[in-house]
Structure formats: structure tokens, C-alpha cells
Amino acid sequence: MGKKVNLVILLILSTAFFFVDLEYDNYYTKNGFLTFLTLSIAYIIFKIVLEEAISKQLKDTKARYTFRKIASVLFAVISSLVLIYIWIESTEGFVVAAGMVGAGIAITLQDFFKNFVGGMIIFITGLYHVGDRIEIDSRYGDVIDVGIMYTTLMEIREWVAADQETGRLTTIPNGKVISGIVNNYTKDHSFIWDEMSVPITYDSDLKKAQEIITEIVVSETVEMTEDAARSIEQIGQKYYVAERRTQPAIFLTMTDDWVTFDVRYIVEARRRRFYHDRITRQILEKVNESEDVKIASTTIDITAFPDIRFMDMSKK
């Protein structure tokens, strides 16, 4: 209703200046008529037709909101340029004024344009799509919507351990992709490497410990290892990817208290915590069944006690 009232006011002013110009015919009345006529036409095109009629055809709320914002900006820009052309007679003055208006708009709406350009980059380059798991601007999550201005994530991590959802929806401005770093966990392939550390005591049978851990990890990840190998071979046709080992590996490190078994294996990006938990439980179960292998913990060995002498105070 408000837009219709504004249009009526503009049309009345245009008509009034038209008749005044017929009566007096001078520079100001003529330009006044052209000014309100321009505003009326621009208002009909951008505010009535584009913002109301066409935007209502868009079902997505965010897309409709963004479309209306773009229409409003175009209305302001085009109206300003036409009005400058009407009121400034010299070409040089028009160019200078148009440049000043453009610079002012660019400064005022720099974030708007940056987000818009970022959205175009995402759509054109396929930087990420709905369903991908990404990290952007130090935020982690699964992409659930990619709009022209913003990307919406189902957030993971934060106060929740490992890669599981927090339940929050995180909105990231698309302009972040222009100057920031985007890590995509599932683009072209959906596998990542995970690691876990298992501390084993020095008096354990270290060879047997390695056999137990290796058997468990290999049996749990055999299918994913094969799938990952095929996936890496496929993306090697698109990127330069050197030959990589996908089989599980174990690396030993000696510490003051125990030997650390660093276990490295490949896993689906969205099931990292699930397999981490499953492998850990099986290792604990097998170690508890073995008499030769023990999980280490921080201990303090006291090898000697100092001599302690008590003084009889009653003899003083």
C-alpha cells in the first residue's frame, strides 16, 4: 500500500510540473518535470514491477530478499545518474558527478558488492556446493544453502568434540571467499586421514602390540581404503596428485614414560568420530585380553627414600 501511495505522489508532482512548465516554460520547471517523470518511471520499473511482481515468483525467501535489495540499489543508482544528467548541463560536469556518485555508492555498499561477487565466484567456479563439508573463516560445517549473498552452514565442532553438529546454523558472507581460505573436506572425494595415539608401556611386547593394533585398524578400514584409492586415482585426472599410500600405518615414538603408537588411517570425512571410537574400543578390548600388552598411564616410581631423623624435644 505504501508503494502505491508513493507512486501516486510522484505522478501528481510530475503532472503538476508539466502544467506549470506549459505556463512558464523555464529551466527549473522543465527540469522539475523531467525529474519527477524519471522518478515515476524508475519507481514503476524497479519498485512495483521488479520488487513486487517478479520477486513474488521466487519461492526461496533469501533469494527473494536478495532480489529486492538488488532492485532497490539499481533504482537508486539509475535514478541518481539520470537526475545528474538532467540538472548538469556540461558533459564534463556530468562525468565528474557520476563518478562521485559511483564512488560514494561503492564505498557505502562495498560489503554488498563484495558478497555479491563472492556469490558469483562460488556459483561459477563450484568452490563448494550444498552438501559439502567446509571450513571458512575458521567456521566448520556442512553447507545447507548457498545464496547470492550468504552461505548457510550446519555448524560442527565448537563446544562439541570431534566433527559432530552443534545444532546452530551459521551464516557466512560470501565475500569471505575472495580474501579468505576455504577448506573443502568433501569436494571431488570424501575421505580424510585420521590419527590416534596409543601409549604402550615399555615392558609390553611391542611387536605383539603393533600386530593387535594393525589387525584392528586394517579390518575396520579395508573397504574405505580401497574406495579412497580409487577416488584418488580419479581426481588425479583433474589435479596433479602424486601417488599416495592409503593403507593404514603405525609410527612409534619413545617418550620418558611409554612408547607412543601413532596410528594413521583413512576414513570418510563425516564418520571420523564413529570410526575413531570403534577402533579405540576394540584396541582396549584386545589389550585387556592380552597379558603381554598394557596401556600406559602417567606414573611416578619412587626408587629411594631419604633418611628421616626425629629429634626428642623433651631432652632439651
pLDDT digit string (tens) for 143-154? 998 887 889 999
Taking the C-alpha atoms of residue 218 and residue 97, their distance in angstroms, rounded to an integer, is: 71
- Domain covering 191-289, topology: Alpha-Beta Plaits (3.30.70)
Which residue did the predictor score with more confidence, 78 or 289?
289
Average pLDDT, the chain: 83
Residue 21: the pLDDT is 78
Residue 117, pLDDT above cutoff 90: no
Q: In whole angstroms, what is the distance from residue 210 CA to residue 215 CA?
A: 8
Residue 67 pLDDT level (bands cut at 50, 70, 90): confident
CB-based contacts of 198: which residues, under 8 Å, 6+ apart?
209, 213, 260, 261, 263, 283, 295
- Report pLDDT for 9: 85
Stretch 97-104: mean pLDDT: 66
Encode burial over 162-175: b for 16+ CB neighbours within 10 A, e otherwise: ebeeeeeebebbbb
Share of the chain above pLDDT 70, in %: 84
CATH of domain 128-184: 2.30.30.60
Q: How far apart are CA 117 and CA 309, in angstroms?
A: 81
